[in-house]
Each structure stands twice: as structure tokens, then as C-alpha cells.
């Protein structure tokens, strides 16, 4: 389709986080809960809701030009798609998720090798089989249709399940004994779209803005005024993204300093700036950071 890309938005646990990310990046996606074709305020994009597990299939087949899905499902599918960029966000956090090998508390299983001849339940069947094969452990891997955490010990001896915090596993009295793989969301494209100059440029522009929105979420802007004689002390305090911007003020004895910081560091940096002679310190949120 000329001058339009068909973009897959992951339906399910990633849907709200993805739509929110697009909003931060500058696109408004409107999903009414009934249609699988949400609208978007960009005439060059046509959206479709697709389960993350199926995204690579429809991208590889050319039904979609691009889509967002976990790299775990791309690996599991074994299909030939192009990863445009990684985007570290999940349902609850801005960090990678893990597929972990978990066993019932008190089961006596401490490592993968202890599960020789046992049954493993998981949605990630192919990756799990490869994991145990690489360790030389013979197990029976069964596909789980959901609620995997409740299957041990009656329906399975262990599970391979995805987790962000591990809280659900703990609530079901399961213990993590190994990480099978880490995963994060990727923007993927079909080979045909990647080879089409217009589509490739459009998809890479989307990737740039999504990446910028994610990078901005973890950072804040900081501006302040300082007497020139104290400037070096201020610069020694600031962990800048590249280097702070120093601007002249109407009073030649003073300068303005503008920089970007990791948000968690601000609570420690501002008191040190104040002690070093800074005044008029202002923290402000960022929408996008393009590196």
C-alpha cells in the first residue's frame, strides 16, 4: 500500500503501555475496546490489534509492515523479520522481563538438571525445549494455555513463565531457580517493508520517536543560575547527559546552566548544587530525548 504502513499494536497486557508510549512519542491511538482496528492521528499509519505471540507471523507474511512484540515471541516463532529497534518497556515497568524456571517451594529441585524426566508447563515451548536440550536434560515440555503458575505440583513439576517482579510466582509459592531468557519489546518489520525506501524511513522515524519517549521517561531537565566564580563547583556536581549548556545572563557575574539528569539522582544532586552556590533551581519533565 503506497504511502501507508500497516502497524501491529500488541493486544493484551502490552496494549495500554504501548498506546501510552505512542502518546508520549506524539501519536494518539484511539482503541474503543470493540474494534481490532484502532484509529491513529497519522494518515500514513493504519493500526491493527494483534496478540504479541502472533505478531511476528503476520509481519513475516506481509499482512503487517511492522509491529511491536517481545523479542521472546520472535525467537519462539523462528520467523524471518527485521528488528528495527529495542524498546525497554513492559506492562508495569520500564525494564526487561524474564522467562524463568520456577518450581514449587520445598520441592527439592534446585537446578535444571534436577528436573530430569519431569514435566514442564509453559507458553514458550520452543525456547524451553532448547534451554533443556542445551543442558542435556530430558524433560517433557507441555504447552500451557494460561494460569501457568497454578499447575505445579499437580499438573506439572515445574514451569517456565514470564515475570517482571516475581510477585505472582511468590504468591503461588513458587521459587525461581534459573532465568531461561530475558526479553523486551522490539519494533519489527517485514523484509519487504525494510527494503521499501519510503516504508523503511517511516518505520525508522516511528522508532526514533518511540525511543526518544522512552529515554525521556527516565530523565528530567534541570536549570539553575550560579555566580561565575562558583561555576566549576557546579560542573563537578552535575552528571550531564553530554555536557551542560552554559548561557550568559544580563548580569555578567552570573550564568545559567541547563542539563539533563537521570531522575533518581535528582534528590541527591539538588542539595549539593544548592550547597555549591546554585540558585533558582528548576526541575522540569521531558517529553523526548533524542541521542
Contact 81, 207 (CB under 8 A): no
Q: What is the pLDDT of residue 225?
A: 97
Q: What is the pLDDT of residue 75?
A: 96
Residue for grid cell 525494564: 95
pTM: 0.84
β-bridge pairing 219-227 and 158-163: unpaired
How crowded is the C-beta side of 225, counted as CA atoms within 13 Å?
9
Angle at 15 between CA 159 and CA 195, to 5 degrees: 100
Q: What is the mean pLDDT of the chain?
A: 92
> Burial letters for 261-272: b for 16+ Cβ neighbours within 10 Å, e otherwise?
beeeebeebbee
Q: Residue 6: phi, psi to the nearest 5?
A: -100, 115
Predicted confidence (pLDDT) per residue in 182-241, tens digit: 999 999 999 999 999 999 999 999 999 999 999 898 889 999 999 999 999 999 998 755
pLDDT along the chain (291 residues), means of 10: 86 90 95 87 96 96 96 95 89 79 94 96 97 97 92 95 89 95 96 95 97 90 95 86 85 94 91 95 91 74
Closest listed residue to residue 75, CA positions, set 90, 55, 89: 55
Amino acid at each position: 500500500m503506497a504511502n501507508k504502513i500497516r502497524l501491529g499494536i500488541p493486544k493484551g497486557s502490552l496494549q495500554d503501555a504501548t498506546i501510552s508510549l505512542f502518546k508520549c512519542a506524539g501519536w494518539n491511538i484511539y482503541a474503543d475496546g470493540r474494534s481490532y482496528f484502532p484509529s491513529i492521528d497519522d494518515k500514513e499509519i493504519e493500526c491493527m490489534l494483534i496478540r504479541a505471540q502472533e505478531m511476528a507471523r503476520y509481519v513475516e507474511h506481509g499482512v503487517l509492515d511492522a509491529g511491536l512484540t517481545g523479542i521472546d515471541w520472535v525467537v519462539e516463532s523462528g520467523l524471518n523479520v527485521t528488528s528495527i529497534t529495542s524498546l525497554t518497556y513492559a506492562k508495569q515497568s520500564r525494564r526487561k522481563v524474564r522467562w524463568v524456571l520456577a518450581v514449587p517451594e520445598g520441592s527439592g529441585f534446585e537446578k535444571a538438571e534436577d528436573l530430569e524426566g519431569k514435566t514442564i508447563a509453559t507458553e514458550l515451548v520452543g525456547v524451553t525445549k532448547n534451554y533443556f536440550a542445551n543442558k542435556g536434560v530430558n524433560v517433557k515440555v507441555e504447552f500451557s494455555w494460561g494460569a501457568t503458575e497454578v499447575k505445579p505440583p499437580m499438573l506439572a513439576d515445574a514451569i517456565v513463565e514470564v515475570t517482571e517482579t516475581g510477585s505472582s510466582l511468590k504468591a503461588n509459592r513458587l521459587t525461581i531457580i534459573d532465568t531461561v531468557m530475558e526479553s523486551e519489546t522490539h519494533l519489527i518489520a517485514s523484509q519487504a517493508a525494510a527494503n521499501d525506501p519510503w516504508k523503511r524511513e517511516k518505520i525508522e522515524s516511528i522508532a526514533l520517536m518511540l525511543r526518544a519517549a522512552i529515554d525521556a521517561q527516565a530523565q528530567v531537565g534541570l536549570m539553575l543560575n550560579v555566580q561565575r566564580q562558583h561555576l566549576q563547583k557546579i560542573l563537578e556536581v552535575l552528571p550531564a547527559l553530554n555536557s551542560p549548556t552554559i548561557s550568559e545572563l544580563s548580569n555578567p557575574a552570573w550564568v545559567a546552566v541547563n542539563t539533563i539528569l537521570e531522575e533518581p539522582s535528582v534528590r541527591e544532586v539538588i542539595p549539593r548544587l544548592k550547597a555549591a552556590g546554585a540558585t533558582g533551581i528548576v526541575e522540569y519533565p521531558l517529553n523526548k530525548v533524542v541521542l
